[in-house]
Structure 1
Amino acid sequence: MKSDNHTADRQGARRPRRSFLKAAALSAAALCAAGTFSSAQAAKTQTWKVQSVWDAGTVGYSLFEEWAKSMEEKTGGELIIKPFPAKSVAADNNALFDAVRNGVLQGMNPFTLYWSGKIPASVFLSSYPAGPDQPHQWDTMFYAMGMLEKTREIYKKLGLFYVGPIHHDANIIHSKKPVNSLDDLKGMKIRLPGGMVAEVFQKFGVSTVSLPGSDIFPALEKGTIDAADYVGPAVNWELGFGQVTNNILFGPPGVMSIYQPVDLMDLTVNLRAWNNLSPRVQKIVEQEVRNYSQQHFLTIQKRNIEALEKFKESGSQISRLSQEDVEKFRQAALPVWFKWANKDKDARAIFDIHLKYMMNDLVGYLSPEDVKGLE
């Protein structure tokens, strides 16, 4: 009996020990699996550094920063976007372009027109003198007429992926003296973007200068330029233009600008960084850029209304060009359109989409007579 009890005791003692070892083994396996899962999740997470051309402290950058930081949650942690304001990583526009191509930055939020010297077709990826002047017209060309796909083909050759256009505003001119007609521009030194815009203004006797947004205020303050084009009232007020100018030039009633009425920004990323995203996250990013475009545009329009009142209260006078000026401007612009379209086959392909759209009777901006003799 004693022997039986002793055997039973030994067996009973062994059972808990075996159970403990089994449980420990299962726990270790679970921990191992958890560690593997965490590593897999970490490996999936992509972190992008994306620099905007908006200066810190402006409504444009605040909106971009908020959008960028929202992407981690929207992608379930698969994509983290770290936003940077103008000049914080890349010191100027050329450096910004190269930094994204080389992978120093994974993306940029620029004004598309900045790349006219590198990508001639980019003059037709944002509004140009006397071209399509309503935001929905650009959305139609990008998302319904194949312009987005063609743009991506062009950018892919440079190791970049063009995610999509971002609406922000029209561009307006702030000047030290009143400008009431195109004739008043003669002899003025004006900050303007390069490319087609500068060429058309030069036809009216303007000396053009290219400066980044952050350099405009000191140039106006010192008098090294007489006037400056930049974005709309909201951002321009924040940049202090009302302190160094007292005149603002618009187009005819209902038209803020005849030379850049729909000045588009975009989100462009390094092609390798884009390809590292899962198809699911790629679709989320594309849709969120479209959502952001609308939010960005509407928020800035609201701020424009408020800011324009501040400009007027501070003494700024509003001038408007006439419809006659618009016609003169378009006649000056037409041959410049075709000159840029003939820069290369990509520029021509994009311009063909524009031409088809503007000559359609639904739009009616151009007739065969308008472009007669231009090829």
Structure 2
Amino acid sequence: MTNQNVSRRKALAGIAGLGAAGLAAPHVATAAAHGTNWKIQTSWPGGAGLQIFKDWCGTIQEKTGGELSFTPFGANDVVGDFQLFDAVKNGVLDAVNPFTIYAQGIIPAATFLTSYPLGLRNPHEFDVFFYGLGGLEIARELYAAQGMYYIGPVQHDANLIHSKVPIRSIDDFRGRKMRMPGGMVAEVFTELGAETTVLPGSEIFPALEKGTIDVADYTGPAVNYALGFSQVTKYIIMGPPGFMSVYQPVDLMDITVSMGSWEALSPEMKQFMEMETKAYSIHHHAEIQKANQEAWPKFEADGTEITRLTQDDVELMTEVAVPIWFDYANRDKDAARVFKIQLDYMMSGSLGYVTPELIEGLTLDL
């Protein structure tokens, strides 16, 4: 058996090991004398997300027979989250694994390349958008204009709301001091009467502990438990059964690389990375959900009460959110173009989240 065949078998085994056996492995070439190494930083600061990322990075060298390897960094290890794309452009990093929303500062349409309040509501719906409705091609076009290559989305989790006080309907948000990530999410809750403020994740625990805020959103249960949220809040507020988060049930990351580093890869290695990113998305999402299942009993043991909003609350919040969607879409031609694809999908028989009555009087500036 030749070295090349051994290398190809390793690549196939590696992809299958990530739960993507249905994807055909590319013909990965025998390791070059000096393989390519990418410095890649994630937005995960710790916990399960960071460990899953680092474990995955550690598999790349073997899967490619040494032709490509990753040196992984956690959040803020090289640069801050809001400097990730500058670091890719100027060569400090080769690639990044950010929360996609961080790109909206340089690519306004990135607002719609990830979850937004009451928009697409399940991970598979974003997969349909990217891989079936042309979203991936548009994302790559927009990132290429910034000197970067968007390899693909990475599914993550929902975001939860933790509260010091009971929230049993959307009316209970009125007057509450609430940490939000800004943007559309903050505007929706402001419309509902909350007093929203923007804080980085590292400042949420002390703000809750001191009573500076009553309510905070952040990531899923596994990460939030590790951050100690059960020690400073009594309630987790969720959507109706099957709807984990009433405002952000999907949270997307991605793998983005500098165009120079991307173009330096062989055609076979480019194909490998595109396939591998799909495989990693499946693996990453499943592993986060596994960690969540281990976290729920811990919240229960700490006395945390889970409360669920109703379908009526979802419909009322959707009415609040829809005009805000259109406002953000109309700020940028590409944002409008992306949003139109998703709006048509949400109004179709497949989903039905949006009715003609909900968008009456609203127009898109295409």
TM-score by length of 1: 0.86
Rounded to whole Å, the distance in 2 between the matches of 1:75 and 1:137 is: 31
* SS across alignment from 2:196: strand
Q: 1:48 is paired with a residue of what secondary structure?
A: strand
Distance of 2:94 and 2:215 partners within structure 1: 35
Aligned match of 1:133 = 121
Is the contact between residue 117 and residue 195 of structure 1 (CA under 8 Å) also seen in structure 2?
Answer: no
1:65 aligns with 2:49: no
Is 2:282 the counterpart of 1:294? Answer: yes
Aligned partner of 2:67 among 58, 68, 78: 78
Q: Say which of 34, 38, 41 aligns to 2:32.
A: 41
Return the alpha-carbon distance in structure 2 between the equivalents of residues 204 and 102 of structure 1.
42
**Which residue does the alignment assign to 2:3?**
none
Provide the aligned C-alpha RMSD in A: 1.4
CA distance in 1, matches of 2:33, 2:187: 50
**Paired residues of 1:116 and 1:195 also in contact (CA < 8 A):** no
Q: Indicate the SS of the match to 2:303.
A: coil
Partner of 1:115: 103
- Higher mean displacement: 136-145 or 205-214: 205-214
Equivalent in 226, 231, 248 of residue 214 of structure 2: 226
Q: Structure 1 unaligned runs (5+)? A: 1-39
1:181 shift after superposition: 1.2
Q: Is the 8 A contact 2:122 2:249 kept in 1?
A: yes
Does structure 1 conserve the Cα–Cα contact (< 8 Å) formed by 2:208 and 2:215?
Answer: yes
In 2, Cα distance between the equivalents of 1:48 and 1:214?
28
Identity of aligned residues (%): 53
Q: Structure 2 counterpart of 1:314, which letter?
A: D
Q: Is the Cα contact below 8 Å between 1:247 and 1:319 reproduced in 2? A: yes
Quote how far apart the aligned CAs of 1:214 are. Answer: 2.8
2:328 equivalent to 1:340: yes
**What amino acid is aligned across from residue 41 of structure 1 in structure 2?**
A
2:269 corresponds in structure 1 to 281
The residue matched to 1:41 in structure 2 has which SS? coil
- Does residue 96 of the first structure (1) align with residue 84 of the second (2)? yes
**In the aligned structure 1, how far is the partner of 2:204 from the partner of 2:265?**
38
| TM-superposition CA deviations, 1:220-259 (whole Å, max 9, x none) | 2233222221111111111111112121010111111121
CA distance in 1, matches of 2:33, 2:200: 38
Q: Which runs of 5+ in 2 are unaligned?
A: 1-30
Larger Rg: 1
> Which of 177, 184, 193 is the aligned partner of 1:189?
177
CA distance in 2, matches of 1:115, 1:343: 15
Cross-structure match for 1:51: 41
Q: Which has the higher helix share?
A: 1
Matched with 2:355 is 367
Contact 1:242 1:311 in 2 (8 A): yes
| Contact 1:174/1:229, CA 8 A, preserved across alignment | yes
User: What SS is found at the alignment partner of 1:266?
Assistant: strand
